């Protein structure tokens, strides 16, 4: 895997945004899948600035949501749909018909998986994905030992994910299940960006770069032919 280390989170965000803009400029009509979570937010801001400077047209591509907490919708601060619309789709001016995201309020989970998968299939698969690495190495809701599943997944959340979830919500919510794109489906993308920042991610970043291990989902992507790990110096401190 390619590894790019930048001094701090801000410099890292700018580097990731420039690399994303280069990808988008070279692949009009591509299907992109971005993680919500805290890690990519600064890169989204930098990418939107690049669009303001006419360096990229973020409306020239299509998007699919990576995941959602089952039971949560746009009205819940911290849901993936709220985070993505407020921090990316809306400020970037992405047309509604360029985006399809998981509805965590749909009680028919199988129907929801099919709805998203049909969007992915219509567009010929995911071309590019930007993933944050979770504290337990999860990518989206591909939790430890869930492997490289094709298609979309419905999954019981790992204890670490439930515990980390508190940081996203105004008050702790009893999240138990997630819905999202499977790691095998993500691995089919021609380009994968993994991103992590801060000293608290140093240990899981190290494991991400080691022999692929089912216990560390992010490591299952490290043998992808075109994967780049973008980290700041703090997250790189154990490499
Ligand atoms: P974070 O989450 O970007 O908020 O650290 C990453 C993840 O758990 O997917």
Instruction: Please indicate whether residue 162, judged by its CB atom, sits closer than 6 Å to ligand 1.
Output: no
Q: What is the mean pLDDT of each run of 10 residues along the chain (239 residues)?
A: 97 98 98 97 98 98 98 96 98 98 98 98 98 98 98 98 95 95 98 98 98 98 98 98
As a whole number of angstroms, the distance between CA 159 and CA 149 comes to 20
As a whole number of angstroms, the distance between CA 8 and CA 28 comes to 30
Rounded to the nearest whole angstrom, what is the distance from the C-alpha of residue 109 to the centroid of ligand 1?
23
Of all protein residues, the one whose alpha carbon is nearest to atom 9 of ligand 1 is 134
Instruction: Count Cβ atoms below 10 Å from residue 128 Cβ, excluding itself.
Output: 20
Of 143, 158, 185, 232, catalytic: 143
**pLDDT (0 to 100) of residue 91:** 98
Instruction: Please indicate whether residue 78, judged by its CB atom, sits closer than 6 Å to ligand 1.
Output: no
Q: Which residues pair with 124 in a beta bridge?
A: none
Q: Record the tokens describing residue 212, joined without a space.
A: 């692929």
Rounded to the nearest whole angstrom, what is the distance from the C-alpha of residue 24 to the centroid of ligand 1?
23
SS (H, E, C) 185-239: HHHCCCEEEEEECCHHHHHHHHHHCCCCECCEHHHHHCCCCCEEEEEECCCCCCC
138 flagged as catalytic: yes
Rounded to the nearest whole angstrom, what is the distance from the C-alpha of residue 233 to the centroid of ligand 1?
18
Instruction: Please indicate whether residue 218, judged by its CB atom, sits closer than 6 Å to ligand 1.
Output: no
Atom of ligand 1 nearest to the CA of 132: 6
């Amino acid at each position: 895997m390619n590894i790019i280390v930048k001094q701090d989170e801000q410099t890292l965000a700018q580097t990731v945004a420039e690399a994303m803009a280069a990808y988008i400029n070279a692949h009009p009509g591509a299907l992109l899948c971005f993680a919500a979570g805290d890690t990519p937010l600064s890169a989204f801001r930098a990418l939107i600035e690049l669009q303001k400077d006419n360096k990229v047209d973020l409306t020239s591509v299509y998007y699919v949501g990576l995941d959602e907490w089952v039971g949560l919708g746009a009205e819940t601060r911290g849901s993936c749909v709220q985070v993505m619309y407020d921090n990316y789709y809306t400020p970037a001016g992405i047309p509604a018909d360029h985006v399809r995201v998981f509805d965590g309020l749909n009680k028919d989970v199988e129907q929801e998986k099919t709805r998203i998968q049909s969007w992915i299939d219509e567009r010929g698969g995911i071309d590019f994905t930007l993933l944050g690495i979770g504290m337990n190495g999860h990518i989206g809701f591909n939790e430890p030992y869930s492997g490289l599943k094709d298609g979309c997944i419905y999954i019981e959340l790992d204890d670490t994910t439930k515990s980390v979830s508190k940081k996203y919500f105004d008050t702790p919510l009893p999240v138990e299940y997630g819905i999202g794109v499977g790691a095998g489906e993500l691995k089919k993308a021609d380009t994968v960006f993994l991103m992590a920042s801060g000293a608290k991610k140093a240990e899981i970043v190290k494991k991400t770069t080691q022999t692929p291990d089912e216990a560390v989902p992010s490591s299952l992507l490290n043998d992808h032919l075109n994967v780049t790990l973008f980290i700041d110096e703090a997250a790189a401190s154990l490499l």
